[in-house]
Structure formats: C-alpha cells, structure tokens
Amino acid sequence: MEKLKILVAVPNLGNIRAELSVMFLRWVSNPKYQVKIWTPQHFIPLDYARNVIRKTFLEESHDFLLMIDADVVPPEATIELADLDLDVVAPVCYVLKDKGVIPMALKRVKDGWQVVGDLERNQLVCVDSAGAGCLMIALRVLEKVPLFRFEYDGDGMLLRDEGFSWSDNVKKAGFDIFVFTNLVCQHFKTVDLLKLVELQNEARRVSYAK
C-alpha cells in the first residue's frame, strides 16, 4: 500500500516551540507516512502565510496538509488523523478569549459562534469551525476552497480572522469539519496573571449562581 503523503507546515516569524521540533522527528521517522516538514518564515500577515502554504501544497504531490501554528504543540498521534480520510479534522485546541479559555469547537448560531457542549472523550464532533491553530486538511478541500483571508469593515477594523472566514468557505463548498476529542493540543501563550485571576473569579460566580 502506498504511503500517505503529508505536508506538515508551520508558519512562523523565526521561532517555533522546541516541543514541536521534537514532534517533527517522530513524524518523519513514522514508517506509515511520507512526511515533509516545512517551516516558512516571515510571511505576513498570517492569512498571506497560509495562502503561500496552500499554493505550495497544491504545486507539490501531497495527500494531506497538517498546518500548525508556531505556538501550538499537538499530540504525536495527530499525524494519524490522515488515516480517517476526513475533509478537515483537528485536535482540540484551547484559546484564551474575553470570557475565558474555550475549545475551538464551534457551531454557528444566529448571533455568531457558540462553543459545542461538553467534549467527551473518543468523539468525532462535527463543527462549523475548529479555528486554524492545528488542522489536518485533505487535498480535495484545498483544491476547491478559496483562499484564507482576514475580513475588515470600511474603517479597516477586523471583522473576522482567516480561520473563521475559511471555515465558512469550507462549509459552503459542501465539506465537513471535525474535532477529534481524544487529541488535545498544548497552546502556549504569554498572559497577564491578573487577567487569569479575573477569569477564574468570573467562572466561580457563574458556578455559584447555578
């Protein structure tokens, strides 16, 4: 059986996590796959970097693109998501938002986006967006879905980032996006500890109110 060809691409500004470098070695040495690692540097803004990756992927001969942000370290088994042959699938990746830390497993609602309910283990959850921090994307999707693009209003203020706009295009093209709950990424951020305390206090107030 021919090995699946996977391009692992990490857009960055000159730095990636050391833990991710270790993961590269493990993936390249995995006998099940033909893995190419690419860490394109200094392509800005980020939507441009993702489009450079998409263009290069389509010019080469790969079956899947595993695109990872430089501050994200997915589990080693993330490479095996290619075996599922899904359109788009992601491990759980947590992000820090105004109202706390949330998983990027979102459904579209009337007023925007809503986090999917409790993410129990061993589930493939169909979502409308998994963000863009770590995505396994099939060739058939990248061949058909338009570019990653930030969207701005008339004053130049950001309306939607490239992950959300691309997710909408994926769904409009008839493809599915999944989050696999058995896999959870590390996501490294520099944060204000006071902000974390405030978020924890808010979570306690919500809990007590229940």
Task: Say which CATH class 4-209 falls into.
Answer: alpha beta
Are 187 and 95 a contacting pair, CB within 8 Å? yes
pLDDT of res. 188: 92
What are the tens digits of pLDDT across the range 167-188? 999 999 999 999 999 999 999 9
Give the residue among 166, 141, 153 at the shortest CA–CA distance from 46: 166
At 7-21, the pLDDT tens digits run: 999 999 999 999 999
Phi and psi at 85, nearest 5°, equal 55, 45
- The domain limits of the chain are 4-209
User: pLDDT grade, residue 191 (50/70/90)?
Assistant: confident
Query: How far apart, in whole angstroms, are the C-alpha atoms of residue 158 and residue 134?
Result: 22
